[in-house]
């Protein structure tokens, strides 16, 4: 009995070590990619999009759907690339292609399904397009957060977008409008919410938040995560305004509240998918953390709300 108990303790310790080391590597990759340049940030977003969509389609197949996985991932990747180019003014007056190309590719999903001879064509089409909406579109909005206040997102009729791109190229990709600390503060608020929810939930969790979907989550952990996220948001307000679009502390606390609420919803949504697919993790790309969707589920779901929040209250 003692040997079995000792083996369990060693296993738990090894898992903790692997999870910690993997988390440190992930932190370094995210910090490096976001801070180095918008190009590396976009590359990180593209990797998240491709791997995340593959995980999503793998779960869909376990739920008796047959999405057009390869084509769907291509649609997602193209969506990220052309929207990145448009956001930085690199498409000149043809930035409307950022909507037209992904839109036409999504419509092509219907025609491709004609030749596949798979059961449940409606479900297959829906799963394919849902992968783009659930993963690729939030990644586009995340990349766009780094340029709020800079070049126009749909700059097809905005000459300043072209001028900005030309200036950036002349300055060897200095990208003066890029605001990496804004993105990092948003990501840190998400992580603060996760850490606060975990610590408070483990120590004081008694009342289940959504037992049918995620039995381990508690209301105590939920409120603990919100509290820590609000503290992180308040701290973000101390950074210089030139790094952040705005350093109004009430604004950042409001952002933290929306991030915490939508982040928990995103976590539950992904848990719903995994439970329906009969899997513990969406993937195994990050040892100790599971897949990309396991690690970035809160970010993927919350970023549309945060992007809208910025558009309404910060610009």
Do residue 297 and residue 311 come from a single domain?
yes
Do residue 99 and residue 155 come from a single domain?
yes
Q: Give the confidence band of 132 by pLDDT, cuts at 50, 70, 90.
A: very high
Is 27 part of any domain?
Answer: no
Mean pLDDT of 286-307: 89
Do residue 109 and residue 65 come from a single domain?
yes
Is 18 part of any domain?
Answer: no
Do residue 67 and residue 188 come from a single domain?
no
Query: How confident is the model over 62-103, as pLDDT tens digits?
Result: 999 999 999 999 999 999 999 998 887 777 777 788 889 999
Last residue of a domain, one of 178, 201, 218: 178
Q: How many domains does the chain have?
A: 2
Do residue 252 and residue 300 come from a single domain?
yes
Is 80 part of any domain?
Answer: yes
pTM of the model: 0.86
Do residue 168 and residue 189 come from a single domain?
no
Is 264 part of any domain?
Answer: yes
Do residue 215 and residue 290 come from a single domain?
yes
Do residue 191 and residue 225 come from a single domain?
yes
How many residues appear in the chain?
Answer: 315
Domain residues for the domain of 290 are: 179-315
Of 74, 96, 99, 81, which is closest to residue 42 (Cα–Cα)? 81
């Amino acid at each position: 009995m003692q040997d079995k108990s000792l083996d369990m303790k060693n296993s738990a310790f090894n898992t903790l070590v692997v999870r910690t080391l993997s988390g440190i590597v992930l932190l370094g990759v995210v910090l490096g990619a976001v801070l180095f340049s918008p190009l590396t940030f976009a590359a990180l977003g593209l990797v998240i999009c491709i791997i995340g969509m593959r995980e999503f389609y793998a779960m869909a197949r376990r739920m008796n759907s047959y999405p057009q996985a390869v084509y769907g991932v291509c649609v997602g990747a193209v969506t990220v690339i052309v929207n990145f180019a448009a956001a930085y003014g690199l498409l000149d007056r043809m930035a409307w292609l950022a909507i037209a190309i992904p839109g036409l590719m999504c419509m092509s999903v219907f025609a491709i399904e004609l030749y596949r001879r798979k059961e449940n064509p409606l479900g297959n089409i829906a799963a394919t397009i849902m992968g783009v909406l659930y993963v690729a579109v939030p990644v586009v909005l995340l990349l766009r957060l780094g340029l709020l206040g800079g070049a126009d997102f749909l700059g097809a009729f905005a000459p300043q977008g072209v001028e900005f791109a030309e200036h950036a190229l002349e300055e060897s990709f200095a990208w003066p409008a890029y605001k990496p600390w804004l993105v990092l503060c948003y990501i840190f608020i998400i992580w603060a919410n996760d850490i606060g929810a975990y610590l408070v939930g483990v120590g004081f969790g008694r009342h289940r938040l959504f037992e049918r979907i995620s039995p381990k989550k508690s209301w105590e952990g939920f409120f603990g995560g919100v509290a820590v996220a609000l503290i992180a948001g308040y701290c973000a307000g101390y950074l210089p305004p030139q790094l952040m679009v705005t350093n109004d502390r009430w604004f950042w606390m409001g952002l933290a509240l929306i991030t915490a609420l939508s982040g928990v919803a995103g976590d539950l949504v992904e848990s719903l998918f995994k439970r329906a697919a009969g899997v513990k993790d969406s993937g195994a790309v990050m040892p100790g953390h599971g897949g990309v969707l396991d690690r970035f589920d809160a970010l993927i779901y919350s970023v549309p709300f945060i992007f809208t929040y910025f558009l309404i209250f910060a610009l």
